[in-house]
Amino acid sequence: MTTELTHWIDGQHVKGTSGRFADVYNPATGEVQAKCPLASDEEMHAAVMSAKAAQPAWAAVNPQRRARVLMAFVQLLHRDMDKLAEALSREHGKTIPDAKGDVIRGLEVAEFCIGAPHLLKGEYTDGAGPGIDIYSMRQPIGVAAGITPFNFPAMIPMWKFCPAIVAGNAFILKPSERDPSVPLMLAELMKEAGLPDGILQVVNGDKGAVDAILDHEEIGAVGFVGSTPIAHYVYSRGTAAGKRVQCFGGAKNHMIIMPDADLDQAADALVGAGYGAAGERCMAISVAVPVGEATADALIEKLIPKIEALKVGPYTAGNDVDYGPVVTAAAREKILGLVDQGVKEGATLAVDGRDFKMQGYENGYFIGPCLFDNVTKDMEIYKQEIFGPVLSTVRAKTYEEALSLAMDHEMGNGVAMFTRDGDAARDFVSRINVGMVGVNVPIPVPLAYHTFGGWKKSVFGDLNQHGPDAFRFYTRTKTVTSRWPSGVKEGAEFVIPTMA
């Protein structure tokens, strides 16, 4: 039986009226388990207008009280952790422990945002001139929006709406239509935590809903996370409409393994970072770059048995599973197509997971782990983001060659180096043109109080996600210059005042 999902408008579930729906699958079985409504322009407009009406009263609530809503929200997330993780795994396919990680990485941003009263403080200069004080305030944008991807259906919506809302904005969340249930559950919990109706609206949809956000005059800021071509599109259309837009795109994260690295540690790190969540993470390592033939041979030898031993299965199999299916049949076909192309282009498929079948789940979107060796720069499997359980090995002769591989790739989300040499690590950290860098850490996702963002084609726009940057993105600065003279005695001034 399929469930008809809803939007969440003005504090309640509201059925879609457009007549358009997207199928939501259980990726482990291939069954359609729900229908996600796809909002029309009119539905989006109504949601935005009631958010706009609700926002001034919310902005007038003092920041400490706004933060208390998030304090309660954090407690509720803990209370409902199992329920959230189950719903997340059922639509996304990732394992239950990984789904809990997805919720917790969002929860940590909610915790950080509880510091909003401090983060929203402005600056003050006392006596900038005779009798003159200058101060700045951070004020909310009004109505902000977030458009989020399928791969972290709890974490990324929270990265967006927690800072935006605690800063005094109303927020329109347009989650991925592949796994929309958890975002709806998060909105229910925000209401239970005390958020007034209309401040968090979840409007489900596809390109139509995205365009309605980008064209809507009352939305001042848009945060997007997804693939690079859509990130570029959203950035171009949103900024052309005069909005503040930040778009985080795709990735191709390299891990350089130096000859002095602890190869057991590096191999374990590669297996976790390459195949966890079936490789469907923007911070997954998808390219291993061992330096020197001896390092490469030894690494491949260590990797093969570890990769062959990976346990693939449905989330319902519990702790026995390392990773689950990919999200849709289309994703599976695209990934397998790229693996075939890699073979045709001459890469060595050292572990071939293409024929993997899950007994009892023959219609699920499972792919066995694949490991490529001898990949070169001109191959499609190197150029494209595969976003599946496929790790490519590019052998580099020297450190400089390894570094320039990562630097020349058009993506720049994450990168890592494994070494015991502090000098090489310092050089790498200083020169690399990638936004998030790991030294002996394969997935260097910064914690909530730092900021998250890539460089190059992994981002369009300014400022990172979470951390202090989120408060800069979701607020505008107003700077006040004030003078309280005892009386205006000297008449008008016609020369621009300077402090010379």
Residues annotated as part of the active site: 282
**Tokens coding 98:** 């990984």
Rounded least distance, CB 379 to ligand NAD, Å: 19
Q: Does position 276 bind ligand NAD by CB under 6 A?
A: no
Per-residue x/- mask for ligand NAD, residues 380 to 409, rule CB under 6 A?
-----x-x----------------------
The closest of 267, 280, 231 to 460, measured between CA atoms, is 231
Q: Any contact of residue 149 with ligand NAD (CB under 6 A)?
A: yes
**H or E segment at 35?**
strand 31-37
CA distance 334 to 438: 29
16, 180, 198, 250: which one binds ligand NAD (CB under 6 A):
250
**Which residue, 35 or 302, has its beta carbon nearer to ligand NAD?**
35
Which residues share a beta bridge with 370? 390
What mask, x for binding ligand NAD by CB under 6 A, covers residues 165 to 184?
A: ---------x-xx-------
Which of residues 63, 106, 226, 461 is near ligand NAD by CB under 6 A? 226
Residue 74 or residue 251: which is nearer to ligand NAD going by CB? 251
- Contact between 150 and ligand NAD by CB under 6 A: the answer reads yes
Among 251, 256, 321, 336, binds ligand NAD (CB under 6 A): 251
189 contacts ligand NAD (rule: CB under 6 A): no
Nearer to ligand NAD, 451 or 458 (CB): 458
d(C-alpha 232, C-alpha 248), whole Å = 9
| Chain length of the chain | 500
Please tell me the distance from the alpha carbon of residue 54 to that of residue 60, in angstroms, as a whole number.
Answer: 11
Interface residue with ligand NAD among 120, 221, 230, 338 (CB under 6 A) is 230
Q: CB 281 → ligand NAD: shortest distance, Å?
A: 7
Q: In angstroms, what is the minimal distance from the CB of 352 to ligand NAD?
A: 24
Stretch that binds ligand NAD, among 45-53, 143-151, 426-434, 489-497 (CB under 6 A): 143-151
With contact defined as beta carbons under 8 Å apart, do 111 and 202 qualify?
Answer: no
**Cβ distance 177 to 22 under 8 Å?**
yes
Q: Is 10 left (phi over 0), alpha (psi -120 to 50) or beta?
A: left
Q: Is 147 in the site for ligand NAD (CB under 6 A)?
A: yes
Measured in degrees and rounded to the nearest 5, phi and psi for residue 388 equal: -155, 180
Q: How far apart are CA 116 and CA 66, in angstroms?
A: 8
Name which of 210 and 335 has its Cβ closer to ligand NAD: 210
* Residue 178 and residue 207 in contact, taking contact as beta carbons nearer than 8 Å: no
Quick check: 166 and 66 in contact, CB under 8 A? Answer: yes
* In the complex, least distance from residue 465 CB atom to ligand NAD, rounded to whole angstroms: 7
The one segment of 142-150, 179-187, 304-312, 425-433 that binds ligand NAD by CB under 6 A: 142-150
Beta bridge partner(s), residue 24: 34
Quote the least distance from Cβ 212 to ligand NAD, whole Å: 10
Number of residues that bind ligand NAD (CB under 6 A): 27
Restricting to residues 327-366, which ones interact with ligand NAD according to CB under 6 A? none
The nearer residue to ligand NAD, 54 or 210, going by C-beta atoms, is 210
* Strand order from edge to edge, sheet including 3-4: 3-4, 31-37, 21-26
Number of H helices, E strands in the chain: 16, 23
Does the footprint of ligand NAD cover residue 454 (CB under 6 A)?
A: yes
User: Nearer Cβ to ligand NAD, position 38 or 351?
Assistant: 38
**What is the number of the residue whose Cβ is closest to ligand NAD?**
226
Choice between 147 and 256, CB closer to ligand NAD: 147
Q: How many CA atoms lie within 13 A of 454 on its CB side?
A: 29
Torsion sign over Cα 238, 240, 246, 250: positive
145 binds ligand NAD (CB under 6 A): no
Which residues touch 428 (CB under 8 Å, ≥6 apart)?
256, 403, 417, 419, 437, 439
Separation CA 229–CA 54 (nearest Å): 34
**Residue 370 touches ligand NAD, criterion: CB under 6 A:** no
Site for ligand NAD in 190-209 (CB under 6 A): 206-207
CA atoms of 244 and 425, how far apart (whole Å): 36
Residue ranges in contact with ligand NAD by CB under 6 A: 147-152, 174, 176-177, 206-207, 210, 225-227, 230, 233, 248-251, 282, 385, 387, 413, 454, 458
